[in-house]
Amino acid sequence: MDLDIIARLVQILKDAPELGAIEVRRGLFGAWSSIRVTKAGRASNAGGPHFATGPVPGATISPFPGPPPASGEGAAAPGAPAFAGAPPPAVPSNLVEIKSPMVGTFYAAPEPGAESYVKVGSRVSSGQVVCIIEAMKIMNEIESEVSGLIRESLVENAQPVEFGQPLFRVDPHA
């Protein structure tokens, strides 16, 4: 897949806060077979598949609404993973989130049995590696964009993560 097209899709997500996700599926020989766009706060699979098929030269996309998110008794307990449609938990105003730049599998250490890059209470500096996210058999080192103290670790080792999912919360003033 062309990196310019991926960059355009990421920019579309940044520029359109009403969009929740863009999913691209490839068919045979690397040709794009479909693109699905969901609105923020909407369940991605509800209501059946919504795909625009065929090649997408300029990343022309349109949002497909799903049913409204469930609320009330279906709300996630504190500490439980947030699922599509669940409102994001409130972030304390003094903390900055380090978010996943891609979909993949989170690893806290460079190899099994090794010491974690960071833990709650660790001091990090801008540019320091905080974890690895494996995507398509490639290990991607994720660097902190902020200096400070790790206050919360939001993901377990070997857990799948989504694009934009918060991984750590850092107190830049500590």
Query: Tell me: the pLDDT tens digits for 53-109?
Result: 333 334 333 333 334 444 444 444 444 444 445 555 566 678 999 999 999 999 999
Mean pLDDT of 26-50: 54
Place of tokens 């995507």: 135
**The pair of three-digit structure tokens given for residue 127, joined into one six-digit string:** 């540019």
Are residue 39 and residue 99 in the same domain, yes or no? no
What is the predicted pLDDT for the residue at 12? 77
What is the predicted pLDDT for the residue at 41? 58
pLDDT: which is higher, 4 or 27: 4
Which helix (H) or strand (E) element contains residue 17? none
Q: What single DSSP character describes residue 77?
A: P
Task: With H, G, I as helix, E, B as strand and everything else as coil, classify residue 55.
Answer: coil
Domain membership flag for residue 69: no
Domain membership flag for residue 157: yes
91-122: burial string, b at 16+ Cβ within 10 Å, e else: eeeebbbbbbbbbbebbbeeeeeeeebbeeeb
Are residue 97 and residue 146 in the same domain, yes or no? yes
pLDDT: which is higher, 36 or 124: 124
Task: With H, G, I as helix, E, B as strand and everything else as coil, classify residue 6.
Answer: helix
Residue 47 clears pLDDT 50, i.e. is over it? no
Are residue 150 and residue 101 in the same domain, yes or no? yes
36 lies in which domain range? 3-53
Query: Could you tell me the pLDDT band of residue 162, with boundaries at 50, 70 and 90?
Result: very high
Are residue 99 and residue 166 in the same domain, yes or no? yes
Mean pLDDT of 47-54: 40
